[in-house]
Structure 1
């Protein structure tokens, strides 16, 4: 079982895996968040590309390795990120090249302590974000602490992404996706369009769903819960008067190796490995991610092995990189605010 008291994201190579293989938040989502933030300050949309209002700043809570934090750096004079994981904060600092971004170790609940530490004036805090982390928190405790600590004009953005869909590349599928105008459709509509023109999509997604929902069934209640439901029933209305929601489907070119590394960056994989390391190594327990990779490599005629494969073996890595896989990510954002 996944234990919420364990820092799975800070263990061994997890911070680097997380930073390298989690999906990048799309620019149109960032611009949507900034536009909503600007509207709270009566600023014109024409300044969207250079929104660095004098003295205004953003705070990214539960920031992990700073994947979302860094995307805000060109939009605000100062951006601050906090997380409870020492390993994640260390990786965030190591990979940070933005002079206006700072990190420190705080819980997402410790908002007033964070403001004091960074000497942030509440009146200058334009945006508070939390990306791909709300599922780790007690929502009532978090939202109560948040609204008690920020000004009414501060925008709050709850960001994340849903379960990715695997698309085996084909010219027909690519054309359909381009013509469908992803930004105007939801994930289901796009998936249905592609599925009928990409025969292997159903099979590979079946492998993927089996890996997530069946083989890790006892471990997914924490981290994977965050990618199960994009519109989870959280008590937004109890704490905020205004609530906007928008989805951003994005097709990203990838390969089997990167998708496997994404799965290995999840907390449930690390928890499973900790509980079963000896059994995996002596072959009495299968590594579900290795099995997932082997099943696709078998379909691609790159292996005869449909049991556990060594994910770190150079030949297997080379084979996985050869398998082109496009991944359909559906990012989402909840924009929350109260009347001034």
Structure 2
């Protein structure tokens, strides 16, 4: 299964350094929802489930008394601890389906770019168990497609990135369908009375060609490709970079490209 890639320390380090930046837009959407549902009450505890290297854990720290990040991968948790810059954040190895918490003690259960790996029915019931009254669940990810804008070359750049995703999908598993459905199963299964499903949240980043190539390397699908045939994966990466350079001409290394990913977010409140 693809999730096994996240249990390797080399990939955990690469993922931390080269995955696209956290979406500040999504963080704002989630925090606004939580603060509205809790009527401005002090927020005690957030749990970031499937936290990986803590990329979505740390942005929660200024808004809660304590934040706990959990993940089933020891290597991801160890990297998260290395990069922890907040005194009120802690990390623990634990499955999403069995959180090490008592009933009704959490203000926010968050899962960013992770819930497609979970056993959904067990996870949403566990989230409901640990949430306080008026506590919130938020699960979000980006849709596996990428638009790249640069002058009159946007169509060619986006088409090339679409080819990259199509090639990587050959190494996918059932998690692909969960992402493509934008977590429909979570929306339908979550046993909470109030739910919102927000789609097509545009997030635009400026990235260099080097950063785009590094992003491709940080996708677990590419890691699976490399594991199956390292030589072919290396050739694929070289060929992809060459094609980007052909589209961008001689300015490839100095250009900042507008890269857009569309995110989606499901939020629910326990009454």
Q: Give the structure with higher Rg (CA).
A: 1
CA deviations on 1:94-115 (whole Å, 9 max, x unpaired) are 111100000011111111xx21
Which structure shows the higher strand fraction? 2
Say whether 1:232 aligns with 2:183: yes
Q: Tell me, which stretches of 5 or more residues in structure 1 are unaligned?
A: 45-52, 116-120, 171-198, 303-318
The SS at the match of 1:59 is strand
Q: Which residue of 2 aligns with 1:292?
A: 240
**Per-residue deviation at 1:62?**
0.3
Q: Which residue of 1 aligns with 2:17?
A: 20
**Per-residue deviation at 1:288?**
2.7
Contact 1:293 1:320 in 2 (8 A): no
> 1 CA distance for matches of 2:111 and 2:159?
31
Q: Which residue of 2 aligns with 1:220?
A: 172
Contact 1:59 1:127 in 2 (8 A): yes
1:148-159 maps to which residues of 2 (within 5 A)? 148-159=129-140
Say whether 1:329 aligns with 2:264: no
The SS at the match of 1:243 is strand
How many residue pairs end up in the alignment?
Answer: 269
> 2 CA distance for matches of 1:217 and 1:28?
27
C-alpha RMSD of the superposition: 2.4
Say whether 1:141 aligns with 2:141: no
Aligned partner (choices 191, 206, 212) of residue 253 of structure 1: 206
Contact 2:147 2:261 in 1 (8 A): no
> 1 CA distance for matches of 2:150 and 2:62?
33
**Per-residue deviation at 1:240?**
2.1
The SS at the match of 1:31 is helix
Q: What TM-score do the two structures reach when normalised by structure 2?
A: 0.88
Contact 2:68 2:89 in 1 (8 A): yes
Contact 1:155 1:336 in 2 (8 A): yes
